[in-house]
Amino acid sequence: MNSENRSEYETIRDELKNIKNCMTTYIGFVLGGTGAAFFGLFALSNTSFSELSLSYAPLLISLVVLMVFLIILYKFNSHNRYAGYCKLLGYEDIPANTISVGSNIFAWEICMGGMRGSDQDNDYLIKFSKDLKFQKNTIAAEDIVFLQKAYTGPTPILDYHKYRKGWKILLKAFIGNLKNRSWRFPAYVTYIFFMISFIYFSIGMFFNFKLFFVYKYGIIENFFLGASTILLSFCIIYLWVVSAGKLYTLMEGSATVDKFCWKYLPFRVRFLNQKKICPNYLLAKLVETRKDEITTFLKENNLEGKYKEFFKS
């Protein structure tokens, strides 16, 4: 790593530590809180506490657990963004005979802002990627365009069927057969949160069925109970599906550390080019491997016809 990048790299690493500490705190609060709530519900079930409250409290706890988990998933995504940028800095080589980048230049916010914009619309990214300048043509412009078309945009190609594939990752985590090059911690945390949510969901449904079939309520009361139970169940199941899809993007889709590294590349190079610097990247040798991974993905998902441009010689 160049000395010019050291200050920026260390700053990003400090932010990574803060994100990890934040995630650990969230996870600890949820585990401690849900554990206490479980014993509280168990104790109340042996008293004259309202059966109606006992039927909805577990469902609400299950919903809150998933809502907090969405925040944790966002933190995982932030972790991968920071780590991806650090990875790019590690691969970067700025020629000694060029103008120094300078220790006071902090390109992180500039690159991140551009990358976020490309998640909504990557047309401008594709356009300026063709004009990027590297030292000794390190990476061909068409290769950068190739990768950015697969990694960016509102619906990245690599996130195809992410919800279904996210459930497969959870199943592999459950049976202990998770084989992945990416960080595995998100999969195991997701598995734990899903189990907590499912346990409370099951307890809530048990008390709800008990209300319907044991206690005698009127038509209006039954309608209210049924409608509210269905609504809460829908919200919980919806968050299960959303979380599974997000897990896939973090583990194998467009939000892995490696993908963020490549997504930052054109914005980082453009920033350096504006400083009259043509960088070199040691990850250039990985370009063909990433291109092969994309074409293999398209073939495995029968998408060759939809994305014919990826198979042009």
The distance in angstroms from the start CA to the end CA of the chain is: 35
How far apart CA 3 and CA 39 sit, in angstroms, is: 55
Whole-number pLDDT of residue 165: 92
How far apart CA 230 and CA 232 sit, in angstroms, is: 6
Q: Both tokens of residue 300? A: 């495995």
Mean pLDDT score across all residues of the chain: 83
| Contact between 240 and 65 (Cβ < 8 Å) | no
How far apart CA 101 and CA 2 sit, in angstroms, is: 10
pLDDT at 42 over 90: no
- pLDDT tens-digit map of 283-301: 878 888 899 999 999 999 9
263 burial via Cβ count (<10 Å: 0-12, 13-18, 19+): buried
- pLDDT tens-digit map of 207-217: 887 777 666 66
Collapse the DSSP code of 3 into the 3-class scheme (helix H, G, I; strand E, B; otherwise coil) and give the result: helix
Question: Which position has the higher pLDDT, 112 or 102?
Answer: 112
How far apart CA 82 and CA 268 sit, in angstroms, is: 14
Whole-number pLDDT of residue 226: 78
How far apart CA 72 and CA 245 sit, in angstroms, is: 14
| Contact between 92 and 261 (Cβ < 8 Å) | no
Neighbouring-strand partners of residue 280:
93
Q: Both tokens of residue 11? A: 């700053």
How far apart CA 229 and CA 203 sit, in angstroms, is: 13
| Contact between 268 and 88 (Cβ < 8 Å) | yes
How far apart CA 211 and CA 223 sit, in angstroms, is: 12
pTM of the predicted structure, to 2 decimals: 0.87
Map out the domains of the chain as residue ranges.
3-106+154-263+278-306
Beta strands in the chain (DSSP E): 92-93, 280-281
Q: List C-alpha distances in Å: 284 to 126, 140, 144.
A: 18, 9, 10
Of 119, 114, 121, 109, the C-alpha closest to 82 is 109
Confidence tier at 265 by pLDDT (50, 70, 90): very high
